[in-house]
Amino acid sequence: MRFPKNFYWGGAIAANQCEGAYLEDGKGLSIQDILPKGLIGGYTEEPTDDNLKLQGIDFYHRYKEDIALLAGMGFKMFRFSIAWSRIYPTGEETEPNQNGLAFYKDIIKECIKYGMEPLVTISHYETPLALAKKYNGWANREMIKPFLHYCRTLFTHFPQVKYWITFNEINSILHAPFMSGAIMTPPEELTEQTVWQAVHHEMVASAQAVKMAHELIPESKVGCMVLGVTIYPLTPHPDHVIEVMKQDRKTLFFTDVMARGKYPNYAADMLSKKGIQIEFAPEDESILKHTVDFISISYYSSSCASADPSQGEPSGSNMIGYLKRNPYTKVSDFGWQIDPQGLRFTLNKLYDRYQIPLLVAENGLGAHDTLVPDGLNDYTVIDPYREEYIKEHLLEIAKAIAEGVDVFGYTYWGCIDLVSCATAEMVKRYGFVYVDRDNSGKGTLKRYKKRSYDWYKKVIETNGESL
């Protein structure tokens, strides 16, 4: 088993789940500030006290301490997002918020100080709320202009950043139109036509951002990111196999456009059967030809598809609840299926299809952690279940690499405990570092190293040989 010599070992977070300080130093409201219950409970008119993301883990004030902790594991790459409304509070100001620029400039400086390559997600479910209200988010083509103005600001002020991701899990707009696409239309009124038109707007914006980054930062590498759902047929019945093909295309459509530069052959048939007709501007076809340099994925679990909705049990996995549970895989504390081989399968499938570098931008285990005395006048978490989860997935990545797949990095999701995306709670913990905050918002916010901290440190030190 071998990982490449310059493999990027690291971790990942998102601004809305960590930073807090939701109205400090000129930041405007984002759609996350009215999402107190994550994907499940819809949004509120104004921020409410039960929204744990308003404080997060106070990364905004503790980032130097936190980055030093992560650097202590030997991270080679640190993925974080920039909160759009911290740079442009309403999304449409002429000049950027200098306090926001200074904050992220300092984060990048800290990363570089410790030898960590910053990987920046430009839009991670953090659209300014004012844009969502004014334009109905990405349903309106007018969103492209402020997004590109924001991108130009980032590329101009942070030229030292080489790696960028345009949209986090861009395909998630099909499953969470408000959180992912800032579309405020009530779910019962929202049409697939509106959602797929928003998809088109995001992909045009992403391609223009790729072009802009390559012009302003010639050495930059810009990637797309998809929610990497591995789907198997529930049974070998041909109807189930065809259903997998249909479900896969809901993900591959995005990577096909962003990596190949045009709509795929099956798009016209797939969309026409839904009664969808995408409006193209005259320049869109040429814009889409600006393809990404790499594809990044989040991967947590796999599911099954059935042509008969009555067959199988609900998967309970990330976002896509209509898929079915695989009876041959283990299940996490939170009902997500654990399938390391599914990651290997998806990496091979994507690389066979596109032949461009891949990055595992998110992979992690949300679990119930218990803080216990460590025998040295401090506390820790004994979490062999997390070590085992990561080990099994890394071994499958190594197999994919041996099979010829170009995987250049692995940034473990939630490397420090944060507010979960799907359920907006703290009890679902991912990190190597425990943060003392509970679901009611109480706690000291003190950081404690878990046992997995030293375990992952050794993995990095040995470039995976300790596995």
Active site residue 362: yes
The confidence score (pLDDT) of residue 65 equals: 98
Here the tokens at position 22 are 């939701």
| 187 Cβ contact partners less than 8 Å away, ≥ 6 residues apart | 177
Reported in sequence order, the residue ranges of 58-116 that DSSP labels E, i.e. its strands, are 77-81
Catalytic annotation, pick one of 169, 202, 243, 396: 169
Band of pLDDT at residue 308, cut at 50, 70 and 90: confident
Catalytic annotation, pick one of 19, 110, 362, 396: 362
Q: Determine the 3-state secondary structure of 422 from DSSP.
A: coil
Q: Look at the block and give the residue holding tokens 């861009």.
A: 170
pLDDT exceeds 80 at position 316: no
Domains of the chain: 8-461 (3.20.20.80)
pTM of the model: 0.96
Active site residue 169: yes
pLDDT tens digits, one per residue of 341-395: 999 999 999 999 999 999 999 999 999 999 999 988 899 999 999 999 999 999 9
pLDDT tens digits, one per residue of 206-225: 999 999 999 999 999 999 99
Task: Report CA torsion sign: 319, 323, 329, 330.
Answer: positive
pLDDT tens digits, one per residue of 231-287: 999 999 999 999 999 999 999 999 999 999 999 999 999 999 999 999 999 999 999
Residue 197 near residue 181, CB atoms below 8 Å: no
Using CA atoms, how far residue 152 sits from 70, 89, 100, 209, in Å, is: 29, 16, 15, 8
